[in-house]
Structure 1
Amino acid sequence: MRSPLAAPPCAPDAEPGPDLDSATIPHLIGLMAAGTLDPVDLTRAYLRRIETVDRHVRSVLAVNGDALREAAGSARRWAAGRPLGALDGIPVLLKDNIDTVGTGATAGSRALVVPPTDDAELVRLLRAAGAVVLGKTNMSEWGNFRSPWATSGWSGVGGQTNNPHVLDHNPCGSSSGSAAAVAASLAQVSVGTETDASILSPAGHCGIVGFKPTLGRISGDGIVPISSWQDTAGPMARHVVDAAILMSVLEGRGVDYAAALVPDPLPGARVGVWRRAGFHAEVDRVVESSVDVLRRAGAEVVDVELPHLDRITAAEFPALVSEFKHDLEAYLRTRPGAPRTVRELIAFTEADPAEPAGFGQERFFEAEKAPPITDPAYREQRRTATALARAAIDDVLAAHRLDVVMAPTNAPAWRTGPDGDPAGLGSSRPSAVAGYPSATVPAGFAGPLPLGVSFTAGHGADALVLRFAAAFERAAPVRRAPGYLPTLP
């Protein structure tokens, strides 16, 4: 069964121009430098796709009314030969937990409908680089930290975001809108955030590239938090080179991650494979085909297991609950007109008619009663979780003399339903809790549903992880544009 939208990726664009699905940032910048692409035309093409395609995907919460004006400013800079950098004129979407003057930051909740008074630090960096802020993307309300029974991709502000590959299936993760929008070519790149899997998992489920950097590489200023001990923003893109360019801007320290994508690291590399075998036959098949890709490219592959998962999970969650209360209440004090405490958020949600009856506020109730971050029990939980997660990665890398560890990112997306998310396959927890870099890249399909593999390494190895992701992408170019199927055949 095919949808009318399953035409060539740029079919909704009435005017000729670059194929948005396949175009990379370097290609678009080259056209702008040559004077054959006007940033206004590029922005207008993406705005048309939002208007025509997003009625099915429901990933964009708000469009920036100044986007065309920003693009016109970029056009003037290019005409004068004075572009601001590698993102000048490139349309970007932002997850709606990132403070943005004019388009707000709701974290999916109607409790935060009064806009922030300042841009987040990463938004200032994007604007300084000339990026065109297209608007904000839907997300799982409060980063999916309100109820264990909530459905990924749903928020009280934006409703339910759909997976563009199969529309009645889930995009997964709290950065669901950022992933689905990029997969559907509604922006060149987007910015997501992750506490545990919220960049990697939706990127894998939607068939795009997602990069979670080393904790602290990107400023968390002006981002609605869950935990400053794990939260990070990160790039989401259709191509690794675009993720690398966006990462350079978001970090703001002058590192050129795109230049670090070469030379090819696979010949002679040692790659650990954490197979997570037995969860899903199609995942096992794609992991095996990915291993074949690595071997054909000259890498030596070693099967590994990452230890301590049960103990990491047991310590991580109660630590996050305490951190959520502390960090969120500190953030709420910066937002005019917002509730000030978790208790006030609970009262707001109970009185809000837009909230669903199908799930509640169990996580908020736990956070309200959580011990403070000065509590010795909390401190031991955080110390244990972080130390074990770092050991799980560091010890395996050292014991087998590995460059990186590869693992499946996701199982096929599930059909969206009213009963929350099913238990899923994941490999993100060690890197998330450790604060280490990890990148997911498309690796195959289960029918029409995308599957990804992730590359993870130690603290500060961001450029290395992106280099391996880019090498795998070149060796196995399996990504394809979504088909917008209404349901599985």
Structure 2
Amino acid sequence: MYSLLWIFATLWIWTAAVVGARKVLPDLYEASISELQAGLDAGDFTSVDLVKAYFARIDEVNLKGPQLRAVLEMNPSALTEAAALDKERNQTGKRSELHGIPVLLKDNIATIASEGMNTTAGSFSLLGSVVPDDAGVVKRLRQAGAIILGKANLSEFADFRGSSLPSGWSGRGGQCTNAYFPHADPCGSSSGSGVASAIGLTAVSLGTETDGSITCPTSNNNLAGIKPTVGLTSRAGVIPISEHQDTVGPMARSVSDAAIVLSIIAGPDPNDNFTLAQPSPVPDFTKALDKNSLKGKRIGVPRRVFLNDTITGNDPFVNQEFEKALDTIRNLGATVIDPADLPSADEIAVSNNETIVLDVDFKIQLNAWYTSLKSNPSGVRSLADLIAFDDANPSLEEPPRFQDQSTFIESEATTGMNSTYFQALAFDKDLGATRGIDAALQMFGLDALVLPAPGFTTVPAAIAGYPIVTVPLGFYPENVTIALAGPETVYPAPGVPFGLSFLGTAFSEFSLVGFAFAYEQETQTRLVRKAFAEAIPKTQLQDVIS
């Protein structure tokens, strides 16, 4: 009897010691790149473990449970790539802070077909197509040792198919929805990238923006996101809307993580001549992460943009939180110049020049994309073919309530780069930059502008090709009136996040990252609220480590 008690007691003490000594692993809902790297370096887990955990988390909530539909497909080569990177880490060390870190890509960013994934912009017209090469940003990610985890759902063709289609819907992916309230609008077009990053279905993700498509899903999903200056990151291998406005940027749970990713993907690419005009060298954006970045700076509030905004300008709760944010910025040592209006603000609100430019660019550049493919099983080789394909396949591409191709049709009707096009392009630059953001910065001696992220905020920067850095600002209250945003989505809704955006001139990302970081660190708004319970995956690293 004594010996049995002694054995049980010894086993209990041994078990307690083992449990007590077990490392605390990072919670994947919030885990930062630095936390993941620390665990990988210490041998607490491997990149294979990370990929397995993220795959399991995706499985829990993507097509099951709340059916968020944030991820279109997972990379069948990811585990093999992770194992190779684990081996390399052990033998020669890591290549960068992204070594062995999974990254999810918006599905308009190309990856070589031999890896096992599609590049479709959410459209069945591109399913099975073979791209000539990885996108420029993907090459940089691979060189840094990142793992491509999969492809994220998006608003089909980056929200350029039809004006009545809701954010987050694609033929292939269905309706992506927000994780902060059931069926809430995730915002587009980088919808899946936003939702997946928000709840830890990936470490970080990439989105693209033409006008609002990083900023808005960053805002709606409680994230930090960077819409870079056009030409800072390569668009080679990205299914296009417009070379004059398209840009690729990171979406993450912190400004720090976004800065790490931007430092990797930024830089010149001979396959995108816009990138050859950027300043050299490419900054290390992590060196901008200073809590005192706002001290002594002058930050302007372009109220005319605000008042022209039919979303934010009429939302008392967003306005209230924005005024609190201005107080925080003052308390962090900045001088707030309010108002600091864009001279062109009222003209931007009524201008149709952006539409003229985008319609022309889309037809030319999408036709070039289809022509560049090594093969395409659908037979689609042009925008005209695409319109016909959608009409011929209504069950795939035109289900009830998702039938709009109006923007495609408008674009197909254009006749190329004529004098009207070039006038519109020049006027956009004048409105957005010369008499817009640059004018306000110069007139008031400003270091940056600040506005709530939702709505009209994105337009001046979009037509100028200028950067925006967005961080969490607040959450809609429980008593907010729920409104329809699409056939299957609502906005606003209780608990849905919204963000704060810092805007600047061309290639001012380093400063904007610093300002956003200082505000983020002071407020920690992201941590105030989590997604609704069913949308939070339960799988953690300890569940997959053997």
TM-score by length of 1: 0.90
| Structure that is richer in helix per residue | 2
Contact preservation (8 Å) 2:215, 2:458: yes
Aligned-residue offset at 1:127: 0.9
1:264 is aligned, of 273, 292, 296, to 292
Aligned-residue offset at 1:486: 7.7
Deviates more, 1:25-34 or 1:470-479: 25-34
- List per-residue Cα deviations over 1:296-349 (Å, max 9, x = no partner): 111111112334245334211111101111111111111222522211111100
SS in 2 for 1:405: strand
2:227 is aligned, of 212, 237, 255, to 212
Report what 2:388 is aligned to: 347
For residues 68-467 of structure 1, what are the structure 2 equivalents within 5 Å? Answer: 68-101=79-112, 102-117=116-131, 118-252=133-267, 255-262=283-290, 264-275=292-303, 276=306, 278-303=313-338, 304-309=340-345, 311-312=347-348, 313-335=351-373, 336-337=375-376, 338-352=379-393, 353-354=395-396, 355-358=398-401, 359-373=403-417, 375-391=418-434, 392-410=436-454, 425-447=455-477, 448-467=495-514
Distance 2:343 2:34 in 1: 40
Aligned-residue offset at 1:449: 1.2
Contact preservation (8 Å) 1:21, 1:238: no
SS in 2 for 1:470: helix
Deviates more, 1:320-329 or 1:67-76: 67-76
Aligned-residue offset at 1:280: 0.1
Aligned-residue offset at 1:67: 1.1
Aligned-residue offset at 1:31: 2.3
Contact preservation (8 Å) 2:122, 2:170: yes
Residue type of the alignment partner of 1:356: P
Identity of aligned residues (%): 40
Residue type of the alignment partner of 1:169: A
Residue type of the alignment partner of 1:329: N
Report what 1:415 is aligned to: none
Aligned-residue offset at 1:16: 6.8
Aligned-residue offset at 1:143: 1.1
Distance 2:34 2:129 in 1: 34
- List per-residue Cα deviations over 1:384-435 (Å, max 9, x = no partner): 012210021001111111111010002xxxxxxxxxxxxxx33011111111
Count of residue correspondences? 458
Distance 1:82 1:468 in 2: 33
Aligned-residue offset at 1:105: 0.8
Residue type of the alignment partner of 2:96: G
Structure 2 unaligned blocks of 5 or more = 1-22, 269-281, 308-312, 478-494, 536-546
User: RMSD of aligned C-alpha atoms?
Assistant: 1.7
1:479 is aligned, of 510, 514, 526, to 526
Contact preservation (8 Å) 1:99, 1:116: no
SS in 1 for 2:285: coil
Distance 1:485 1:84 in 2: 37
Aligned-residue offset at 1:173: 1.1
Distance 1:203 1:226 in 2: 20
Report what 1:32 is aligned to: 40
Structure 1 unaligned blocks of 5 or more = 1-14, 411-424
SS in 2 for 1:193: strand
